[in-house]
Amino acid sequence: MLPLEGIKVISLEQAVAAPFASRQLADLGARVIKVERPETGDFARNYDQTVNGMSSHFVWINRSKESLTLNMKADSGKSIFKDLLKDADVVLQNLAPGAMNRLGFSNEELHNINDKLIICNISGYGSNGSYVNKKAYDLLIQCEAGFLSITGTEETPSKAGISVADIAAGMYAYSGILSSIIKRARTGKGEVLDISMLEALGEWMGFPMYYSLYGDKEPKRTGSHHATIYPYGPFQTAGEDTIFFAIQNEREWVNFCENILHNPDLAVDSRYCNNSKRVENKESLQREIEDVLSTKSLHEVMNELEENKIANAQLKNIKQFANHTQLRERKRWIDVETPVGRIKSLLPPAANSKEDIKVSPIPEIGEHTNQILTELGMDQDTIKQLKDSQVI
C-alpha cells in the first residue's frame, strides 16, 4: 500500500507551483484529478514541444494524474465541481488572485460543501495585504524576495535557471497538505493552507537575510564563488577546465596548502590565516591557487582533492547530469508513459524503487473526463450534451 492510497485530490492547477505539489501527492498514491480548461488545458502544455512534441515543463510535473476538462464559469461546470468535492480530501489551486472567490468557491463555501476538505491556496503574495491582487511569476518573486540581489556577478543580477519560487511554494504546499492530513485524522476537520510564493522563497533566503539584518552590509553577488567563504567555488586547471571545491574549516585549509598546493607557509600567511582574511584577499589567493592548479589536469586535481577529503565537483552540463554515474548505479531512472511515447524520469528523492510510488501515464487533455463523470452518475447522453455545450 502506498502512503496516500485512498486520498482524493482535486486540483485547479496551472504552470508549476500547484502541479509540482500535486505530482508529489500522486507519486505517493493519491488520486489527483487535474481540472483543466476545455480544449486548451493547462497553458504549461504549450510552453515548448521538446519532449517528442510535449512540453518539458508539463511532462516533468504531471504524471500519474487524471485530466478532467471543466468550464468552471458555467453553472453546470460548477455543479460538477461541487459533486467532486463531496468525497474529496484535498482541493488545491493556484488560479489568478481572487478567481476562486469570483467563481463562488471561497474557503467558507468549500467547507460548507465538505468540512473535511484540506484547502490549499497557492498565490504570489498570500490572501491578504496590499499585494494580494498583484500578479506574480517566478522571476518577479525572485526579485521581490531579494534573490536576484545576491545571485549573479557583481555587475549583473541573474535569475536562477529553474523556477525556484514556484518549486519552493509547491514543496511547502506538499508538506503542508501532508501535515494537515495527519492533523485531520485527530480532529476530523479540514483546514485552510495559505501558501505564498514570496514567503516560500523568503524561507530559503534566511542566511542572506540574517547576514544583512545583523551585519553592516549585504552579501555581494559573487558569480559562482561563495559570498562569505573562500576558497569555495570555481578554479581553473590545465586546459582551461574548471574544478569546483570548498574549504569549510581551518583544518581543511592547512591540509589543502600542504598536500595540494605543497606550500604549508601559505596556511599561516597573515593574509590567509582565517576565513575572513581569505575572503578579504581572495583575488591574490586565487592567483596563488591557480598558479599551482593550472599545471594539473582536471581529473588529477579532483583525485588529489578526493584523496585529501576536500569536497569537490566537476562542472557538468545537463546531459552529463542525466548520464551521471551515481544516478545510474543507484537505479534512479524509471520509464513513464505519455501520449507521445515512453520517456525517462527520475525517481522522487524519498522513493527507494519504482514500487514505492505510483507511476501512471501523463494524461492528454480531458482524457479521464468521461470516466470521472460516469463515476458521478451521469449517463452518456448527458455527458455528450455537456461536451456539445463546451462545459467539458
| pLDDT number for residue 216 | 82
Burial class of residue 175 (count of CB atoms within 10 Å of its CB; 0-12, 13-18, 19+): middle
The reply to whether 170 and 25 lie within a common domain is: yes
Q: Which residue in 205, 122, 130 sits closest to 160, CA to CA?
A: 205
Whether residue 116 sits in one domain with residue 47: yes
Residue 60 to residues 54, 69, 119, 343, 349, Cα–Cα distance (Å): 10, 20, 24, 10, 14
174 plus 143 within the same structural domain: yes
Say which residue the cell 502544455 belongs to: 45
Give me the number of domains the chain comprises. Answer: 2
Of the candidates 317, 299, 151, 314, the residue with the CA atom closest to the CA atom of residue 245:
314
* Structural domain that includes position 307: 232-315
Residues 38 and 143 in one domain: yes
Distance CA 318, CA 314 (A): 12
Cα–Cα separations (whole angstroms), residue 268 to 250, 260, 271, 289, 337: 10, 15, 8, 15, 59
157 lies in the same domain as 297: no
Within a domain: 1 = no
Do residues 181 and 254 share a domain? no
Looking at the domain assignment, is residue 221 inside a domain? Answer: no
Q: Do residues 170 and 120 both lie within one domain?
A: yes
Q: What is the pLDDT of residue 217?
A: 87
- What pLDDT is attached to residue 198? 97
Find the CATH number of the domain harbouring 139. Answer: 3.40.50.10540
**pLDDT computed for residue 239 by the predictor:** 85
Q: What is the pLDDT along the chain (392 residues), one digit of tens a residue?
A: 899 999 999 999 999 999 999 999 999 999 999 999 999 999 999 999 999 999 999 999 999 999 999 999 999 999 999 999 999 999 999 999 999 999 999 999 999 999 999 999 999 999 999 999 999 999 999 999 999 999 999 999 999 999 999 999 999 999 999 999 999 999 999 999 999 999 999 999 999 999 999 998 898 898 999 988 999 999 999 988 899 999 999 999 999 999 999 999 999 999 999 999 999 999 999 999 999 999 999 999 999 999 999 999 999 999 999 999 999 999 999 999 999 999 999 999 999 999 999 999 999 999 999 999 999 999 999 999 999 999 99
The pTM for the full model equals 0.91
Q: Answer yes or no: do 122 and 166 share one domain.
A: yes
* Same domain assignment for residues 284 and 337: no
Q: What is the pLDDT of residue 240?
A: 80
CATH code, 260: 3.30.1540.10
Same domain flag for 199 and 248: no
Residue 41 lies in a domain: yes
Residue 241 and residue 337 in one domain:
no
